[in-house]
Chains A and B, each alone.
Chain A
Amino acid sequence: MAITSPERRAWWNEPVERVELIWIAVALLWGLFMFFFMIAWHFIGGQNLATEAYKVTPSAYQEKVDAFAEKYQVGDEAGTPIVRPPAGVDIYLLGRLWQWWPVLELEKGQSYRLHLSSVDWQHGFSLQPTNINIQVHPGYEHVITLTPTESGEFGIICNEFCGIGHHTMTGKIIVVDKKAETK
């Protein structure tokens, strides 16, 4: 019994029942499959989080984002600049208490190198309703090559607790179709 010592002192020599052996084999193989599937997705999948990252001071990052926003600003939403960079360039998003800054306007099907960092506490980049969630750290600049595959307006909310205004921290990414733009 489980609360008493094993009956046979050499319990490690007892034979194992077939049903247990089969289950162990099934579980082991399934585990191996799941392990190798993560590796495989790096070759067959389109969604793998970049590992490119740099150390950066908050003020240096702030300067980069400011310069970027000034260069490509096309409008304004509730005091936050709307920035429309050309396809393929480096784009910058900043998390701070309590907003995602600036609003980005991207083109569907184009790739951008998205830089993410925070200038104060940790934040959680959460793109909705697509549900892409990435942690944002102060002091680290994370570079992700992002390709929007659908158009429309997408909210960015914060899903890492960042103080009393956490639930007011939002931002926006607007994705436009190429056709609508050229007419």
Chain B
Amino acid sequence: MSTFEGALAATRERVANFRTCQFTGLRVDIAAQRLIIANAVAAVVFLAVGGLMGLLVALTRWPAVHLLPAEWFYLILTAHGANVLLFWIIFFEIAVLYFASAVLLNSRIAAPKTGWLGFVLMVAGAIITNIAVLQGESTVMFTSYPPMMARPHFYLGIILFAVGALIGVGLFFATLVIARAERTYEGSIPLVTFGALTAAIIAVFTLVSGAIILIPTMLWSMGLIRDIDPLMYKLVWWAMGHSSQQINVSAHVSVWYMIGALVLGAKPLSEKVSRGAFFLYILFLQLASAHHLLAEPGISAEWKIVNTSYMMYLAVLGSMIHGLTVPGSIEAAQRRNGFNRGVFEWLRKAPWGNPAFSGMFLSLVMFGFIGGISGVVLGTEQLNVLMHNTIYVPGHFHGTVVAGTTLAFMAGTYLVLPLIFQRDIIWPGLARIQPYLFGIGAAGISMFMMGAGTLGVARRHWDINFTDAVIGFQHSPGAFLMMGLNGISAILAALGGILYVLIVVGTALFGKKIVPGHKMVFPLHSAARVVSKYGSEGTIKLPGTIVLVTIFFLSFVLYYFVNWKYLSDLWQFR
């Protein structure tokens, strides 16, 4: 607690400067607002850089295009992973944490100067790692498995970034303490803040794991440590690498709830159930590093089964619960809004022209159907051998991180721009189609990579023709088709990504300033004002949501058993 008290003391002298939001009635600390803007801008910059790199990677893996030479391909692929999977997402998450603590709780933010220190460390770390990769002697992939070695500053950059992010997470905790002490809210923290708290707790675990493994690895790269065991490295590194994806899940589920609340006036169906589902994440998501050790030598089957299943799939249970409660709360809200006819009027007449809503709903559906189901199958002890390290793996995590997290964050941006940047969206026509363009592209990338992986195509591989191999090998024509379709999907996603960056930058610089009485182009729900009634949803029937989750469940079961059928046809091994 002493750190919290320290943070409290440090901020006691500062006289917080507040404004009141005309749309939500929330009091916004200007210092928090500046930090949110800075982190969101940095996030978008790294998304632009990393996303463009992703396009280059996909165009190289499209056999008919085969854009980059091998050396550049592996280099760009290394940078792509770091820029989008770490830098874009964690910068945005820090912005979400500041928003969910200071803004949603009507509180001043703790120690904003320390927040700026964290921000500077993160920016410096991200730039250092990018320089290390572009210098060409750190082409080790984002995972940097030993005994393959990068230059010391490759690791140093990531360590600095992690330390900066940890400072941001610390500020989040300290702000919660301040808000509680200064009674800026009544009762329990809101659900979205609770989800952000889940993300923050997991973030501490993952960022510390990253430091625990990357510091000795850096010393090894400097020649101060003789040896890094490759299996030990994988176990600890993935406690950062995979568990950090669970920060994303907690954060983007929070963003789903937030968008539902602001755009449709949605309430949680039950506070208890939604919070319980987040709590399952805290308890079990950290076991995920086992997913990366299923095909490794010398690890017992018992260990693999318990850990890869997050202890009997209890964290998957958490996600499946959100899979019902998020659309369920939207259906309930829409029915309350008057769209009560039939099973699906609430969905048909949802604000599909509002990019915050359409992006959020596409993210929800694709995260569940594409990323979620494939993740469970890939993480099943025996089934893993069918796709381990094939391009199925990036297929899966583009379903979670691109179609799920990135699209949810993009959707959230359409609210952050008017509410925090206080500029209204320019080019509403383009903003309307942006989530669809990006979403369809991301879905294509995920599914075609998964298809190619099922046909045996390796991940992180420059030439599926094996032109220079001494012993030749030819993939099936289907594999080439899949990689071509993946390239086309990547172009679609890149167009959606470019539109997003243009809209964000354009709005931040030239968007109409929001003054009292302004009418937003994508309006919030009238219930977004805190004065309205809130709390758990009452007893509203949810036939549409029941149909949706039934379709989801049947797809899940079917796909699961199809893969066991594939497995049973393989050569035998034990």
Name A residues whose Cβ lies closer than 8 Å to a Cβ of B: 1-9, 11-12, 14, 16-17, 19-20, 23-24, 26-28, 30-32, 34-35, 37-39, 41-42, 45-54, 77-80, 99, 103, 111, 116, 120-122, 124, 126-135, 137-142, 144-150, 155, 157-172
Interface size on B, residues (CB 8 A): 113
In the bound complex, CA of A181 to CA of B69 (Å):
45
Q: Are B454 and A78 in contact (CB under 8 A)?
A: no
Q: Is B316 an interface residue (CB 8 A)?
A: yes
Minimum-distance CB pairs A-B, first 5:
A7-B535, A31-B313, A53-B298, A142-B297, A159-B458
Q: Are B312 and A6 in contact (CB under 8 A)?
A: no
Known: A38-B380, A120-B147, A166-B462. 19 other contacts (CB 8 A): A2-B192, A5-B190, A9-B186, A14-B272, A16-B272, A19-B324, A24-B321, A26-B553, A38-B309, A41-B382, A47-B573, A49-B385, A80-B471, A134-B388, A145-B574, A146-B573, A147-B573, A167-B464, A170-B472
CB contacts (< 8 Å) of A163 on chain B: these are: 148
Q: Are A8 and B262 in contact (CB under 8 A)?
A: no
A47-B567, A137-B230 known; A2 vs B324 contact (CB < 8 Å)? no
Name the CB-closest residue of B to A49. Answer: B385
Minimum CB–CB distance for A88 against chain B, Å: 14
Minimum CB–CB distance for B525 against chain A, Å: 9
The 8 A CB mask of B555-574 against A (1 = contact, 0 = none) is 01100100010011011111
Name the CB-closest residue of B to A158. Answer: B458
Interface residues of B in 89-134 (CB under 8 A from A): 104
A7-B536, A17-B270, A133-B389 known; A148 vs B571 contact (CB < 8 Å)? yes
Name the CB-closest residue of A to B546. Answer: A19
Minimum CB–CB distance for A98 against chain B, Å: 8
Name the CB-closest residue of B to A54. Answer: B298
Q: Are A23 and B300 in contact (CB under 8 A)?
A: no
Q: Are B231 and A167 in contact (CB under 8 A)?
A: no
Count contacts between A and B, CB distance < 8 Å: 323
Which of the listed residues A19, A146, A172 has the most CB atoms from chain B within 10 Å of its own CB? Answer: A19
CB contacts (< 8 Å) of A99 on chain B: these are: 470-471
In the bound complex, CA of A149 to CA of B386 (Å):
16
Q: Are B71 and A142 in contact (CB under 8 A)?
A: no
Q: Is B519 an interface residue (CB 8 A)?
A: no
CB contacts (< 8 Å) of A20 on chain B: these are: 269-270, 273, 321, 324-325, 328
In the bound complex, CA of A167 to CA of B73 (Å):
12
Minimum CB–CB distance for A134 against chain B, Å: 5
Minimum CB–CB distance for A76 against chain B, Å: 12
7 A-B residue contacts at CB 8 Å?
Answer: A2-B192, A3-B257, A3-B528, A49-B385, A126-B389, A159-B460, A170-B472
In the bound complex, CA of A48 to CA of B300 (Å):
11
In the bound complex, CA of A82 to CA of B316 (Å):
47
A5-B186, A6-B188, A35-B313 known; A131 vs B454 contact (CB < 8 Å)? yes
Minimum CB–CB distance for A137 against chain B, Å: 5
CB contacts (< 8 Å) of A79 on chain B: these are: 470
Q: Is B13 an interface residue (CB 8 A)?
A: no
Minimum CB–CB distance for A100 against chain B, Å: 8
In the bound complex, CA of A126 to CA of B464 (Å):
13
Minimum CB–CB distance for B369 against chain A, Å: 15
In the bound complex, CA of A34 to CA of B313 (Å):
8
In the bound complex, CA of A135 to CA of B267 (Å):
47
Q: Are B271 and A45 in contact (CB under 8 A)?
A: no
Q: Are B471 and A170 in contact (CB under 8 A)?
A: yes
CB contacts (< 8 Å) of A48 on chain B: these are: 301, 382, 573-574
Contact of A140 among B148, B298, B476, B542 (CB under 8 A): B298
Contact of A161 among B74, B190, B258, B269 (CB under 8 A): B74
A51-B300, A53-B298, A171-B471 known; A46 vs B305 contact (CB < 8 Å)? no
Q: Are B380 and A34 in contact (CB under 8 A)?
A: yes
